[in-house]
Amino acid sequence: MPQLIEPHLLFDWARELGKEHPFWDVHVHPFEVLTGDVAFLEHEKIEGLFSKPGSVYHPPIAKMDIEPEDEALEISPGSSRAYLLASRLKYTHIGHKVITDQLKTAGLSGALLLPVARIRDAAQAMLEATAEMFSGDDHLIPGCAFPVRVPANELTRFFITAHDRYRIRAIKVHPNLAGINPLTSAGRDLIEATLEVAGKLDLPVVVHSGRTAVLRPSYESEYGTLQRLETINWSLSAAPVILAHAGCHDLTEEEARVALSRLNLLFQKHPNLMANTSNLAPSIQRLVLEKVDRSRLLFGSDALYVPIWKAWLQFLHTLRNVSYSPDHDLIRMASLNPMQCLGLLKTT
C-alpha cells in the first residue's frame, strides 16, 4: 500500500530542492486543444491576463487537505460534447499571468507551452496569439503546433519562419488531433519531414503518444499509439523527441504495461527519445516510474486541463513511494532532463 505523505510536506521537500535546481513543466497547453480557440480579450486592469467576456479570474490555490490520488487528473470523456464543454471551462482565462500564477502555486520555475492545431491556418494563428499573450516572460517557452494540411515539402519553410520570427523552442505533433496516421506513407512523410527540420534547427519535438478516447471518428483516436509510432525513424533528428504521456494516454492499466514494454524497446533503438509523465492516472504513473529509466523521463502536467499544482503533487507523491533516491530522481526528471531538452543546460 502506498505510503501516505502530507501534501504540505511534499511541497516543502520540492521547494527546498528547487532553490538550487529549477523545476520545469514541459507540457502546458496555452490554448484548448479541441477547438484551438484564441479569441480572448485583454484584461483592462490585470497585466498579462486574457479572458472570455463576463468571466472573473481567481488565482489558483493548492488544496492541502486532500491526498494526491483523491481525484483523477483526466477529465472523464463521457461524450464528445460533455468533454468539450468541460474543456472550455478550463480555458476561460489564459495569458502569462495564468500560467505563472499556476507555476508559483506549485513552486515551479517555468513551462513549455505546447499549442495544438486541428484546422488549416490555426498553427499560424496560435503563433501570433502566443506572441501577444505570453511574451515578455523568459520562463514561458513557446512551442509551435504542427500546421495541419501543410504538405511535407513545405514544412521546412513553415518551421524555419516560425523559428526566426516567433522564436519557437519546440514543435508539438498530435497525430490523433491532426489526423496523421503513421502507418500511411503520407503520415510518415509528415512526421519525418518535421523531424528533419527539427534536427536542423535543434528543436525538441513533443509527440502525443497514446489514445484520445473522446475523438471522433474513433479510428483517429489510435494514431498516436506506440504500435503506430514505432514505425517512425525518430533518429532522423539529433534533437530530443519527447513522447508525451509515456505512450499511455487513455490506456487501461493492462494496455499501459504493454505500451511501456514498447516504449523501452524504442528507447533502446533511438537514443534521442524521451517521455513525459503528463496526465496519467496515479496507478499508471506509478508503472511509468517503476518501469522506465528516469534518465529518459520528464515531468509534465497537461495544464490547463489539470492544475499544475495538482499534477505536481501527484507526481511528487508517486515518486516518493517508488524511488530509492527521490532527491536525485526528482532533480533528474523535473530539472536536469527538461533543461537539457530545452537547451537551458548545456552538456559537455
Residue 72 in this model has a pLDDT that exceeds 50? no
Q: What is the pLDDT of residue 344?
A: 92
Amino acid at position 270, single letter:
H
As a whole number of angstroms, the distance between CA 178 and CA 141 comes to 22
Measure Cα distances from 308 to 85, 223, 230 in Å: 20, 27, 30
- Averaged over 94-104, what is the pLDDT? 97
Q: What's the predicted TM-score (pTM) here? A: 0.94
Amino acid at position 97, single letter:
K
Q: Three cell numbers at 347?
A: 552538456
Residue 125 in this model has a pLDDT that exceeds 50? yes
Q: Where are the alpha helices (DSSP H) in the chain?
A: 7-18, 80-89, 96-106, 122-134, 155-166, 175-178, 185-201, 226-229, 253-269, 282-291, 308-322, 326-331, 337-341
Amino acid at position 157, single letter:
R
Contacts of 66 by beta carbon, 8 Å cutoff, 6+ apart: 7
Instruction: Quick: pLDDT tens for 37-71.
Output: 999 999 999 999 999 999 999 999 998 755 544 44
3-state secondary structure of 307: coil
As a whole number of angstroms, the distance between CA 180 and CA 193 comes to 13
Angle, vertex CA 148, rays to CA 145 and CA 149, nearest 5: 150
Q: What is the pLDDT of residue 76?
A: 45
Residues, the chain? 348
Provide the β-strand partners of residue 24: 110
Instruction: Quick: pLDDT tens for 317-330.
Output: 999 999 999 999 99
Under DSSP, the state recorded for 335 is: I
Contacts of 71 by beta carbon, 8 Å cutoff, 6+ apart: 310
Set out the domains of the chain in order of their start, with CATH numbers. 24-341 (3.20.20.140)
